[in-house]
Structure 1
Amino acid sequence: MKKSSIFGIITIAVAIAIIICTYGSASTYGTFKDADNNSGELHIIGHIDKQKEMVYDATKDANYFSFYMRDTIGNERKVIYTGTKPEDFDRTDKIVLVGQMNKGAFHASHILMKCPSKYTQDKLDVKADTKKASI
């Protein structure tokens, strides 16, 4: 076999291996029901249940934060995050969790939050009033 043919076969094999590795580690969006039936990592979109208990005590364990969240179809689960409580967590409306179910609770490896200050109506009204006053 020619060296160029061997090089081409090796290049194709490496490309296939990269595609398989990327596909295998890719996570998808779902609900808590999907997480119950799936052992892989999922992204779950939902709203924090602010009526239920949030547990975070930095003096006891700064890397434990738990709360309850309701997903887009209304299923509610306890969420355990092994990290510090995100700044402005109490002010956010919608979050995306990345993680997986374990023993009836969703264990999040990442919490992605919508920035509440960007979307508040009060902030927009203040800017509008300032423009009117300067005209």
Structure 2
Amino acid sequence: MKKIHIVAIGMIAVAIFILSRMAGDMSSYATFDQAEVSGKKVKIAGELVKEKEMVYKPEEDPNEFRFYLRDTDGKEHRVLLLRAKPQDFELAEQIVLTGRMKGDEFVATDYLTKCPSKYKDEEVFLKEKKS
């Protein structure tokens, strides 16, 4: 077998490995019910339940923030985020959490927030101006 064939087979094997590892990250969002059943690490999209308490005590543990999230099915669950409370967290339109269920609590190790656009007011102004 020529050297070029060995290198090509090696590159194909590496590409297959990388794609198989990335496939898990490209999955769709789960709900709390699906997270309970699977027991695996999942991504859950939802909105902050502003009527319920948020607990962040940085003097006790700066990497522990508790709040309630409503998933896309409308089910609410308590969440433990193992990170500091994000700035302007209450303003988020949508929150995506990565974690798993532990008992009756969703333990998240990572998050992504979608905040309102600072350009939204400008868009409304421009639309009104055109009319």
Structure 1 length as normaliser, TM-score? 0.76
Which 4+ residue blocks in structure 1 deviate beyond 3 angstroms?
24-28
Structure 2 length as normaliser, TM-score? 0.78
- What are structure 1's unaligned runs of at least 5 residues? none
Identity of aligned residues (%): 44
Instruction: Name the CA distance, whole Å, in 2 between partners of 1:72 and 1:79.
Output: 15
- Bigger mean CA offset, 93-102 vs 62-71: 93-102
- What are structure 2's unaligned runs of at least 5 residues? none
Which residue number corresponds to residue 52 of structure 2? 52
- RMSD over equivalenced CA pairs, Å: 2.7
Seen in structure 2, the aligned counterparts of structure 1 residues 16 and 111 have a Cα distance that, compared at 3 Å, is closer
Which residue number corresponds to residue 102 of structure 1? 102
- Count of aligned positions: 127
Q: Read off the aligned partner of 2:106 and give its amino acid letter.
A: F
Indicate conservation of the 8 Å contact 1:27/1:41, yes or no: no
Structure number having the greater helix percentage: 1
Indicate conservation of the 8 Å contact 1:78/1:106, yes or no: yes
Q: Secondary structure at the match of 1:35?
A: helix
